[in-house]
Amino acid sequence: MKILILNGSPRGARSNTLRLATAFADGFPDGTELETLHLSDLNIKPCLGCFSCWTKTAGRCVISDDMKTVRRAIELADVIIESFPLYFFGMPTAIKTMTDRCLPFMKTYLGTSDEDGKSSFHQLRDERMREKKLVLISTCGYVQAQPMYPALLKQYDLICGEGNYTAILCPQGELFGYDGLAERQKNAYLADVRTAGAQFAKLGKIPAETAERLKKPVLSAGGFQVVVNNHWGSGDSL
């Protein structure tokens, strides 16, 4: 089994979200291979929109850059974890750029319409790609996740098809960026993420009970407000 973490945070190895993604991977059994690519360290240029990959080069991108490394890593992985912060209710630039550059994975669109409106209407060049599991792990700064993620989830539903990916969405993400803040609660949350990883490795999904636990924010709304006020409210940290 091989896991690929695509870290889309501009904070690279210091990413809050990466702590969760790493905990998830830690839950996998011994012998699982893990590769982490920090997209912020790579040179990945934006898609040119030339459609050469659809019309001329049969799935090969005309741009020569580090997307080759990402593509190869995706091809070799069984589980792909996209790990990134929520930026303005959506994905940050590095993940969007990388996603756009995945167009060569798809077959040329020839005007068909989807039957049920629920699954991606793009056909894949290599159907074996469907055997890979996609896990989306994201943190955001807001006190709760639910009001923050509808646009991103809709986008993933449209790209992947509903139910074709697994998501762990964690609010209060900044807590993970500072040692000494809510350590007990953070460690409990990370232990649940590790359990989710172990269960995912075994079952290919996160059981409902674990998923429900992961939906509960690290701190209560009141507790989070106190921590935020104490930590960020002082002139020193502003």
Ligand X SMILES: Cc1cc2nc3c(=O)[nH]c(=O)nc-3n(C[C@H](O)[C@H](O)[C@H](O)COP(=O)(O)O)c2cc1C
Q: Are 34 and 26 in contact (CB under 8 A)?
A: no
By rule CB under 6 A, what string of x and - marks binding of each residue 145-184 to ligand X?
Answer: ---x------------------------xx--x-------
| Number of other CB atoms surrounding residue 98 within 10 Å | 24
By rule CB under 6 A, what string of x and - marks binding of each residue 38-77 to ligand X?
Answer: ----------------------------------------
15 binds ligand X, rule: CB under 6 A: yes
The nearer residue to ligand X, 8 or 27, going by C-beta atoms, is: 8
Of 16-45, binders to ligand X (CB under 6 A) are 16-17
Host H or E run for residue 231:
helix 221-232
φ and ψ of 91, to 5 deg? -85, 145
Measuring CA to CA, which residue among 60, 63, 80 is closest to residue 8?
Answer: 80
Instruction: Say which amino acid occupies 127.
Output: E
The nearer residue to ligand X, 143 or 201, going by C-beta atoms, is: 143
Q: How far is the CB of 18 from ligand X (least distance, A)?
A: 6
The nearer residue to ligand X, 32 or 93, going by C-beta atoms, is: 93
| Residue 19 Cα distances to 107, 145, 174, 202, 224, angstroms | 35, 17, 11, 21, 19
CA angle 167-104-91, nearest 5°? 35
Determine the size of the site formed for ligand X (CB under 6 A). 18
Among 3, 80, 85, 194, binds ligand X (CB under 6 A): 85
Instruction: Say which amino acid occupies 39.
Output: L
Of 177-216, binders to ligand X (CB under 6 A) are 177
Residues making contact with ligand X (CB under 6 A): 9, 11, 15-17, 85-89, 139-142, 148, 173-174, 177
